[in-house]
Amino acid sequence: MAPPGPAGALPAPAEPLSRSIFRKFLLMLCSLLTSLYVFYCLAERCQTLSGPVVGLSGGGEEAGDPGRGVLAGGPRELEMWPAAAQRKRLLQLQQWRRRRPPAPHDDGNEAVWEEETPGLAGGPGGSGAGSSVAEAPPGTLELLLDEGSKQLPQAIIIGVKKGGTRALLEFLRVHPDVRAVGAEPHFFDRSYDKGLAWYRDLMPRTLEGQITMEKTPSYFVTREAPARISAMSKDTKLIVVVRDPVTRAISDYTQTLSKRPDIPTFESLTFKNRSTGLIDTSWSAIQIGIYAKHLEHWLRHFPIGQMLFVSGERLISDPAGELGRVQDFLGLKRIITDKHFYFNKTKGFPCLKKAEGSSKPHCLGKTKGRPHPEIDREVVRRLREFYRPFNLKFYQMTGHDFGWDG
Ligand code: A3P
């Protein structure tokens, strides 16, 4: 007699019953997963739409101020943050898709347009955060792309060259309520004749409550810039990143040297006559550092309270502290904190844990934080002596001792 097979071990009627239960279970699981997916998609879509963000944790604190209020208040802030960041990212995508505005000047070694679309350039660098737009149903994209409008900047980083202006702008752009043009527009010094409409067109689109910003460090030393900016708006907030003028001059020289390695030495350019020790103040590397003189021009058009002086040194030693002051000055919620930074030992500078619109750590490029050539100690001492009275005047004018002469 043949032994019973495996099928024969079970009673014949039980087999179809267990299969049908299994099938039903599978069906239920599938529909549960589908509804979860649909729910998830709907939730995502709500967050990407403009206007008051639907309260994710109940309550209605933000009702009176849909733009900024949405970020206010303890644990709510953490819940709202992705929504604000998402809105910002959509605007970036929108800007990227539109035809680029006429390219403004840059300072020759930075300020590339790619900075406008971090993580969106396609390829492996992309963070994938733009995928919700790509997956949007027909019509949604158009709706989203029409969001926001271009505004003239309400705040400008006007200087100083080699002060740390790129670092400040890159750090500020992490804030969901800050939208900034990546390249330096040089409107108030080189392209003023192109008119305000041209200038505005360079700006990224913003939603209500967001601040438009740009940085062009040469404005600080441009005679016409204060009157021109004041003519655009007397309320423009002005930020100046200042750094020890001697280090700044060496940094400036290092930048020129990197482009033109055949220039004379720093030491020989510093003096009109080295034997008399007469400093050549017509050399721009020296001239820019006479901050008190340049500031006088600005104070004819703007009250000192409308200007913020950021310490270039502290921007390196305590970026979150300086960013705290800047956010207060701009009337922004303090979103950028020490949690956003880490010190990169290889670079020797603070870097962002996550750049704007990206999930990756981000340090500034190799033209920022370059090693400086060794400068004759006697020349450095003479330069310190030269700058001291101007520095003291600058401390008086700003009410802040930057510690360059301590
Ligand atoms: P060096 O390259 O001489 O060190 P700007 O952006 O205005 O041109 O300023 C450049 C300077 O920013 C750099 O000058 C560097 O010292 C300073 N800086 C400040 N924070 C920085 C950071 N986090 N990474 C790199 N450079 C930074």
Confirm whether 259 is domain-assigned.
no
Q: How many structural domains comprise the chain?
A: 1
Q: Which atom of ligand 1 is nearest to the CA of 166?
A: 6
Q: For ligand 1, is residue 162 a contact (CB within 6 Å)?
A: yes
Q: State in Å: Cα 164 to ligand 1 middle.
A: 4
In the sheet that holds 178-180, the strands lie side by side as: 178-180, 211-215, 155-159, 237-242, 307-311
Q: Are 351 and 342 a contacting pair, CB within 8 Å?
A: yes
Residue 1 lies in a domain: no
Amino acid 380: pLDDT: 97
Q: Ligand 1 centre from 404 Cα, in Å?
A: 17
Residue 234 domain boundaries:
149-245+286-371
* pLDDT value at residue 395: 98
> What atom in ligand 1 is closest to the CA of residue 107?
8
State yes or no: 370 annotated in a binding site: yes
Contact 253 CB / ligand 1 (< 6 Å)? no
> Cα separation of 240 and 235, whole Å?
16
Alpha carbon separation from 120 to 61, 101, 126, 127 (Å, rounded): 33, 18, 5, 7
| Residues belonging to the active site | 162
Tens of pLDDT, residue by residue, the chain (406 residues): 333 443 334 444 445 667 777 778 788 886 777 767 655 545 444 333 332 222 222 222 222 222 222 222 333 333 334 555 666 665 565 555 444 444 444 454 444 333 333 322 222 222 222 223 233 333 444 345 558 999 999 999 999 999 999 999 999 999 999 999 999 999 999 999 999 999 999 999 999 999 999 999 999 999 999 999 999 999 999 999 999 999 999 999 999 999 999 999 999 999 999 889 999 999 999 999 999 999 999 999 999 999 999 999 999 999 999 999 999 999 999 999 999 999 999 999 999 999 877 889 999 999 999 999 999 999 999 999 999 999 999 999 999 999 999 7
Site to substitute for ligand 1 among 115, 158, 160, 162, most atoms within 8 A of C-beta: 162
Burial class (CB in 10 A: 0-12, 13-18, 19+), 77: middle
The token pair at 16 is 């179809």
Antiparallel, parallel or unpaired: β 349-352 and 341-344: antiparallel
Q: Are 67 and 80 in contact (CB under 8 A)?
A: no
Please return the burial class of 266, using the count of CB atoms within 10 Å of its CB with bins 0-12, 13-18 and 19+. Answer: buried
Quick check: CB of 109 below 6 Å from ligand 1? no
Instruction: Using alpha carbons, list the distances in angstroms from residue 284 to 112, 223, 290.
Output: 24, 14, 10
Beta bridge partner(s), residue 205: 150
On whether 215 is known to bind a ligand per the annotation, the reply is no
CA angle 330, 121, 126 (to 5 degrees): 85
- Is 51 one of the annotated binding-site residues? no
Vertex 54: Cα angle to 50 and 55 (nearest 5)? 140
User: Residue 38 class from Cβ within 10 Å (0-12 exposed, 13-18 middle, 19+ buried)?
Assistant: exposed
**42 lies in some domain:** no
Here the CATH number for the domain that contains residue 181 is 3.40.50.300
CB 370 near ligand 1, within 6 Å: yes
Q: Which of 364, 367, 372 to mutate to test the pocket of ligand 1 (most atoms within 8 A of CB)?
A: 364
- Residues 381-399: b if buried by 16+ CB within 10 A, e if exposed: ebbeebbeebbebbbebbe
Choose among 99, 81, 93, 177: nearest CA to 132: 93
Cis peptide before 174 (omega within 30 of 0): no
Cα of 382 from ligand 1 centre, angstroms: 24
Q: What is the pTM of this model?
A: 0.73
Decide: 294 in ligand 1 pocket, CB within 6 A.
no
DSSP code of residue 2: P
Name the one residue in this structure whose structure tokens are 């034997």: 275
Closest CA to 84 of 114, 54, 48, 118: 48
Residue 175 lies in a domain: yes
Do residues 372 and 254 touch, judged by C-beta distance below 8 A? yes
**CA 163, CA 245: separation in Å to the nearest integer?**
9
E strands, 89-230, in order: 149-150, 155-159, 178-180, 205-206, 211-215
